[in-house]
Chain A
């Protein structure tokens, strides 16, 4: 990445700039790939960009950073995503 030599405070882009925000999560979105109709509503509405859109418009969830807000589950019209409490034994 290009670094700049100027006398001011510059920050550089980084995934997880606030750390692994996945550990904020209380509920984990679980996707049922069988049910999913690839409408991409969860992808466009995820505030964290942690619903990953694949080339074939199928989706995956990035659990390292997903904050567990539950919006993806809420906007999915066919309930292909359900929120499950994170287990204590991880």
Chain B
């Protein structure tokens, strides 16, 4: 698929409250293009609720409902039931939440909705932090990353949300990244055609949160995939298929770039390089990444 095949119509209206270089609006544009106007979006507390901009205006030309931080999937379940009762079966219900609202506080509502077989798409844009409230750690924050609540670096590894989702054996789940818009578009289109619960997670590098220059958002996403810090895959009928660069990495057809190539560009890892390079910790991170891929190979090859 070529970029020019992605529809021109925009439901994201310029002039929002998003930071310059925001990965969330980048991804939202693709989601709106892939699903079209016949959708209803549920947004919990997160950056996106701010990006929508202030009453009486909104930057989203899509019916959107804001709801409490923990309640994205619960809200979506209600909206889906309401639409079903009215016989409106041509409207795609989309819950759109951050990693805090997904990995942490929203996980029980999400798990419940998946278990109840709710017909909706849950999309998590994963910027690996609580960015809206000023960069606190989440369950998605990687090991050693600085946040305002992990000064000196996070001491735990991030959780594998993808595998928690897979344990629900839903019809479709996928991991994507803002740097691969055609791939993201295809995954959303596919989810839209299917019945039942669908989950898509999008890697979303955040310039102020990760401390990199706002012109480098796309680059930072590409590197997350090329170094193996993030994997692109689809999970369908209980079968997992890696795709794009991640497939080549899984099959060892190419070598991953050193994880250092990705983290050295992010100010949140600065303490690993200044005043002195922390070779031991960098090796630890590399070893952990290698271990994850070894496990992927054992399970999915």
Q: Do A and B associate with each other?
A: yes
- A64 and B4 alpha carbons, distance in the complex (Å): 25
B181:A48 contact, CB within 8 angstroms:
no
What range describes how many residues of A lie at the interface? 35 or more
> Given that A13-B61, A15-B15, A17-B58 are known contacts, is A69 also in contact with B20, CB under 8 Å in the complex?
yes
Complex Cα distance, B219 from A75, in Å, reads 8
Contact B52 A11 (CB under 8 A): yes
**Chain A 1-28 interface 0/1 with B at a Cβ cutoff of 8 Å (1 = within):** 0000000011111111111110010000
The secondary-structure label for the interface of chain A is: loop
Report how many A-B pairs have Cβ atoms within 8 Å: 118
Q: Find out whether the CB atom of A50 lies under 8 angstroms from the CB atom of B14.
A: yes
Q: Is the CB of B217 within 8 A of A17?
A: no
Q: Which of A21, A64, A71 contacts B215 (CB 8 A)?
A: A71
Query: In the complex the two chains form, what is the Cα distance from A45 to B23 in whole Å?
Result: 9
Mark A57-90 against chain B: 1 for CB-CB distance below 8 A, else 0. 1000010111111110111000000010000000
The answer to whether the Cβ of B6 comes within 8 Å of any Cβ in the partner chain is yes
Number of chain B residues whose Cβ lies closer than 8 Å to a Cβ of chain A: 38
Give chain B residues whose Cβ lies under 8 Å from the Cβ of A64.
14-15
Rounded to whole Å, the gap between the CB of A44 and the closest CB of chain B is 5
Q: Does A40 contact B (CB under 8 A)?
A: yes
Nearest A residue to B8, CB-CB: A53
Chain B positions 146 through 184: 1 when the CB is less than 8 Å from some CB of chain A, otherwise 0: 000000000000000000000000000000000001000
B17 close to A18 (CB less than 8 A): yes
A18 touches B15 (CB 8 A): yes
Residues of A within 8 A of B181 (CB): 44-45
B129 within 8 A of A: no
State in angstroms the CA–CA spacing of A45 and B174 once bound together: 21
Q: Which of A16, A39, A71, A74 is most buried by chain B, counting CB atoms within 10 A of its CB?
A: A71
Q: CB distance A19 to B15 under 8 Å?
A: yes
**Contact residues of A with B, CB < 8 Å?**
9-21, 24, 39-41, 43-50, 53, 57, 62, 64-71, 73-75, 83
Residues on B close to A: CB < 8 A? Answer: 3-4, 6, 8, 10, 12-18, 20-23, 25-26, 29-30, 52-61, 181, 213-219
